Homo-oligomer: A and B are copies of this chain.
Amino acid sequence: MIKVGIIGSTGYAGQELVRILLQHKEAQIIWYGSRSYSDKKYYEVYQNMFQLVDDHCMEEDMETLASQADLIFTATPQGYCASIMKEEILSNTKIIDLSADYRLKDIDVYEKWYGINHASPQFLKEAVYGLPELNRESIKNARLIANPGCYPTCSILSIYPLLKEGIIDPDSIIIDAKSGTSGAGRGAKVSNLYCEVNENIKAYGVASHRHTPEIEEQLSSVAGQVVQLSFTPHLVPMNRGILITAYALLKHEISYEEVRQIYDSYYRKEFFVRVLDKGICPETRWVEGSNYVDINFVLDPRTKRIVILGAMDNLVKGAAGQAVQNMNIMFGLEETEGLKLVPIFP
């Protein structure tokens, strides 16, 4: 039984970790960390957990926790994980960080886009970008995983095979992304109130969203050249789900079958990536509650572009599910353990 601690267990991603781990055969949560609710029973914060979790929320105490847990998930604000990281911790336990602290290898890019100093850049090199479909081997032996962002997971998985195979122009990529509101977190802000989000759609972080350099760094690495792209996230009145609609110029004419063949060869063996039948557009409702990413594409010979679509649950494959997938790999378990969640509809 893997003993697991969660720092930040009362955010939406933290709670989703709890939901998934409660249904996982090989893991046991020993620490429900929460700065805000440390005096409360966990189920008082999330009544769905009544009679399922009887523990109290605990103040963070990384050193004690590191000595007790085989693995710690940090589902915390940017900067926190970097601020507490040290060799003593990593020599005692493993860390899967759901924040962005170790996602960007280039510290200048991190500090520019996030506007904070990185407190422990010495671990950047060691940290593995935890996207199993790309980095499965490195994840196996990692001590420190940078769990990918929600938008980057959906974007990279949808686009990277085409880039790697050289069929799209790396300078032409535009990603128009749409997310449910759980991605905005559980902080009490006017802009996230029901009446402000409901019956509305808006773009935000236009040309400045922090997931842009993360997507670019990964795609650049795949493409073997610098990729700069346009990324625009939008807030959608729904709880869960991310849809990305990506556009790129085709380098040369290509048939549906040829592109299909590329996707199939990359994803045939990937349990969590579903390349849909021809003509079926990914929709967020079909992946809700599950760890799947649904992908498809449309060729548009008129404009010489390809339109790539990807859909995923932002809290599962975009956060907690992927973190558990990484855990499974790190501990030599079946990669799908606890993650064969059938999407819930409607």
Contacts and interface: CB of A to CB of B under 8 A. Distances in A.
A231 to B, nearest CB: 9
Contacts of A277: 50
Given A298-B206, A309-B206, A193 B195 contact: no
A204 B200 CA distance: 19
| Copies of this chain in the oligomer | 4
Contacts of A174: 174, 247, 305
Given A284-B202, A303-B228, A342 B243 contact: no
A52 interface: yes
A223 interface: no
A189 interface: yes
B23 A342 contact: yes
Interface residues of A, number: 81
Interface stretch (A100-108, A114-122, A234-242, A253-261): A234-242
B203 A281 contact: yes
Contacts of A305: 174, 230
A190 B340 CA distance: 28
Contacts of A236: 201, 236-237
Interface string A260-299: 0000000000000010110011111111111000100011
Contact of A195 (B12, B22, B52, B284): B12
Nearest to A276: B50
Contact of A284 (B201, B228, B282): B201
Given A48-B342, A280-B47, A300-B230, A178 B181 contact: no
B281 A202 contact: yes
A181 B194 contact: yes
A52 B188 contact: no
Interface of A: 12, 15, 19, 22-23, 46-52, 174, 176, 178, 180-182, 186, 188-190, 192-204, 206-207, 228-230, 232, 234, 236-241, 243, 245, 247, 274, 276-277, 280-290, 294, 298-300, 302-303, 305, 307, 309, 311, 340, 342-346
7 contacts: A198-B238, A199-B288, A206-B298, A206-B307, A230-B305, A234-B243, A344-B344
Given A199-B284, A207-B299, A344-B344, 17 more contacts: A19-B345, A23-B340, A46-B345, A47-B280, A50-B276, A176-B232, A178-B178, A182-B195, A186-B195, A199-B240, A201-B236, A207-B298, A207-B303, A232-B245, A234-B243, A237-B237, A240-B346
